[in-house]
Chain A
Amino acid sequence: MNSNREELRIGFYVCHCGHNIAATVDCAEVARYVGTLPHVALSREYKYMCSDPGQELIQQDIREHKLNRVVVASCSPLLHEHTFRGATEAGGLNPFYFHMVNIREHNSWVHTDRKEATEKAKALAQAAIERVAHHKALEVKRVKIHADVLVVGGGIAGIHAAMTMANAGKKVYLVEREPTIGGHMAKFDKTFPTLDCAACILTPKMSEVGNHPNITLWTYSEVTKVDGYVGNYKVTVKHKPRYIVEDACVGCMECIDACVYKTPKFEDEFNEGLGKRKPVFIPFPQATPQVVIIDPETCLNLKTGKCKKTCVEACADRMAIDFTQKETFDEIEVGTMIVATGFKTFDAKRVPAYGYGIYPNVYTALEVERLVNASGPTGGEVITRDGRHPKSIGIIHCVGSRDKKTNVWCSRVCCMYSMKLALLLKEHTGAEIYNFYIDIRTPGKGYEEFYNKLLDEGVHFIRGRVGEVTDWAMTPEEEGKLTIRVEDTLAGYVRRIPVDMVVLATGLEPQQDAQDVRRLFNLSCGGEGWFLERHPKLAPVSTFTDGIFIAGGCQGPRDIPDTVAQAGAAAAECLALIDKGYVEQEPNTAFVLAEECSGCKSCIPLCPYTAITFDESSKVAVINEALCKGCGTCVASCPSGSIVQNLFEDDEVFSEIKGVLAYD
């Protein structure tokens, strides 16, 4: 150890974390052992180091025992490194004279043998003691935060977050990849449990977003590139050609009437394929922005170049139609971002036993949302694909949820939306309605009451996961119907129930492109593909990338109330950062020892954050501290060993290794 420094006085603390650590690691023994190591001035165990008294203990010891290094063996640095650095600083030391050892996630939670876990804790502690001796005083850098915000995804989550921040006076970019905002909610007729009209509560918000002076709304657009770091992101947004000049279109829809296709002919995506549209269309009457779009796949002019272009005539002086449009790009700077890209519904064809795509009268829930909707393809009349007014309807829960062959999770909203649809279908048709469920899950305010209401209305509930939906008839009353075969598990009988219509309550899944979005924004995903929050309880809208937050269905299945609450939380997190005005940057950055750099440039292309440039005048590489993330790639690659990284200097790392090996 460096002898020309003042005498080393290390304070060591091992935390019980209640039983979390103490149940598996003999903390007293660890403290005793570390106390015997050279330079350790004091060694203690304590029940909760992160508590106020725990932190106070560190500060007091620094003052009273003249400590100049601090090591805490406890949980993950992710959770409390910040806390203990703070305590170290409050005690009067540079916070980087502190080092943390993880003996919970890396030890007590993953081992069962108390003796061996204790040995491991001792070895890890010894490594930290050796390491901390080499720590240097470092300074935290402050970086200014750009006040503009980007929200990705214009479902109810994105809408609510954007509105909240715009109302607080921040400038918000809202990027939505579809031609209109609204997301799934825009397709619903009513929403559980209150059954308020979805359009009535959503569309005012949508048009407010469209008109808000602080919101730049970019629909039919996608983020293609994200550079930079918290406070200073550079984002590239691609605008797909809609062949309409948005500013010129007034939404009169005269072009639609004038289209050479006299009747709508193409599958209408917004209506889940249940209706038809023309090549020039607007997804639904209250779409925001109120701008039409031309689909190049079906437009005669765009496909063949041969069309009378009656639409252009109809648009006349407004001249909003532009067949020459190409995709364009915008580059923006923002300080923070909210990713609210939502979910997709499970593809019902993946459960062939339920006959979706085989029997015309098997529907997905989303299709039924459109079918019962007054502005839907049938104007709210429930009429099946083969033209019947159903007299009996079966709703099958958990399709593509709670199933190891498809998705293992509970999709959380299906029980409730199934009951909502049951009620709406009953209202519209007077049919007998059967719900087939495994468990009814109604954990929400007013939800259980909603379930009771359905029972009162005479909707039937049969507890059993449906075996199959089939069109072969065993008995006369099954002729011409779809028969549901299911065990009524409460009665203990297998039953065959003929119905006219089957509704599949398909579950919620991560978006198809969730992995691409994850990479783009440098997020993490759980095994199932949902975006991962920084902490499931304490940081539910934060991600592992500073300054980027998540909200709504992209993080996991949830209903509108929870989505909106989360969107508000994400907005508040952004506002908190923006109003603080700066972020502190971890000083674990790399720097070049100019006098040793040979100017070989091998590090430059390796840096994933393009933080390294070459200084032509002095012929050495230079690292931009603000861009460096401390990944260490360049350090390892430098052939002359002339790049050094704070907190990971050679003697720090080697002494840590030495420490762990010294223990036997």
Chain B
Amino acid sequence: MNITRTIKYEADRVKGFGDEVMKVPGCEKLKDCIQCGTCSGVCPLSVYMDYTPRQVMELTRFDFKKEVLSSKTIWLCASCYACTCECPREIRITDIMYELKQRAIHEGVYPRKFPIPVLAQEFEKMVTANGRISEMPLVMKLFMKTDPLGAMGNWQMGLDLMKTGRFSLASEKINNREQLAKMFAAAEEKA
């Protein structure tokens, strides 16, 4: 029998992680969570989550950084805001999920070949460069990076798109890409 230690010692916490998250705009109210589980109760994606949204709140608050950042939950969140609207403590769970996703990408701790963070990053790259998204090329890239064979399984959809005139590999771009680049550069300078 394979067994693992599940007890948590203080050393398992990354002290300060929770506080840091709670300082981010929109995430402040996490302190007020009463662990009622409404967020999980309304979350349509909780069907597949490894930790429920409520557990993610508690783990975050108590500095269990490794656990939350490598959880599937944050990536399964579809940003539907159901939890945020229903939470009795007005905690913006969706925004906390965003914050955790950002941190996971930053630290590169998300599950390997997991398509969602890859999509998010490819999306970000494409928008940063072109100012717009070209949906088909983005999807193709995603499949190449995560599941080259999966693309084949979707031939039916590709066919449908072609038939209905929605399949286009053209790259959409804004004219003033330079302006956008300047803006990003200025944003990154320290105030």
Contacts and interface: CB of A to CB of B under 8 A. Distances in A.
Nearest to A486: B41
Given A403-B88, A404-B90, A494-B47, A485 B42 contact: yes
A465 B37 contact: yes
Given A405-B90, A492-B55, A467 B34 contact: no
Given A353-B42, A494-B52, A487 B88 contact: no
B65 interface: no
B41 A494 contact: yes
Interface string A454-468: 000000000111111
Nearest to B46: A494
Contacts of A464: 36-38, 40-41
Contact of A467 (B35, B42, B90): B42
A215 to B, nearest CB: 44
Contact of A438 (B34, B40, B52, B86): B34
A466 B36 CA distance: 9
A4 B60 CA distance: 74
B90 A468 contact: no
| Max count, chain A CB within 10 A of own CB: residue among B34, B36, B54 | B36
Interface in B11-56: 34-38, 40-43, 46-47, 52, 54-55
A467 B52 contact: no
Contacts of A519: none
A486 B39 CA distance: 9
Contacts, number: 61
Interface of A is mostly: loop
A497 to B, nearest CB: 11
B92 interface: no
B42 A489 contact: no
A402 interface: yes
Contacts of A466: 38, 41
Contacts of B35: 489
A489 B34 CA distance: 11
Contacts of B36: 438, 464-465, 489
Interface centre among B35, B47, B90 (most CB of A within 10 A): B35
Interface string A381-411: 0000000000000000000001111000000
Interface string A477-493: 00000000111110011
Contact of B52 (A404, A405, A468, A487): A487
B132 interface: no
Interface string A103-141: 000000000000000000000000000000000000000
B89 interface: yes
B88 A489 contact: no
- Give the residue among A485, A486, A489 with the most B Cβ atoms within 10 A: A489
Contacts of A468: 41-42
Contacts of A403: 88
A273 B54 CA distance: 38
B37 A487 contact: yes
Given A438-B36, A465-B36, A494-B47, A404 B89 contact: yes
Nearest to A465: B36
Nearest to B89: A404
A487 B89 CA distance: 17
A467 B47 contact: no
Contacts of B47: 494
A282 B96 CA distance: 57
Contacts of A402: 34, 88
Contact of A494 (B40, B86, B89): B40
A509 to B, nearest CB: 16
B54 A467 contact: no
A467 B88 contact: no
Given A486-B41, A494-B41, A467 B86 contact: yes
A32 B129 CA distance: 72
A405 B87 CA distance: 9
A85 to B, nearest CB: 45
B34 A494 contact: no
Nearest to A490: B37
A485 to B, nearest CB: 5
B89 A489 contact: no
Nearest to B34: A438
Interface in B156-183: none
Nearest to B51: A492
A465 B37 CA distance: 6
Listed from nearest, the 6 A-B pairs whose CB atoms lie closest are A467-B41, A487-B37, A487-B40, A467-B42, A465-B36, A403-B88
Given A353-B86, A467-B42, A485-B41, 4 more contacts: A487-B41, A488-B37, A492-B55, A494-B46
28 contacts: A353-B42, A353-B86, A402-B34, A402-B88, A404-B88, A404-B90, A405-B90, A463-B37, A464-B36, A464-B40, A465-B36, A465-B41, A465-B88, A466-B41, A467-B37, A467-B38, A467-B86, A468-B41, A485-B42, A487-B41, A488-B37, A489-B35, A489-B36, A489-B52, A492-B52, A494-B40, A494-B46, A494-B52
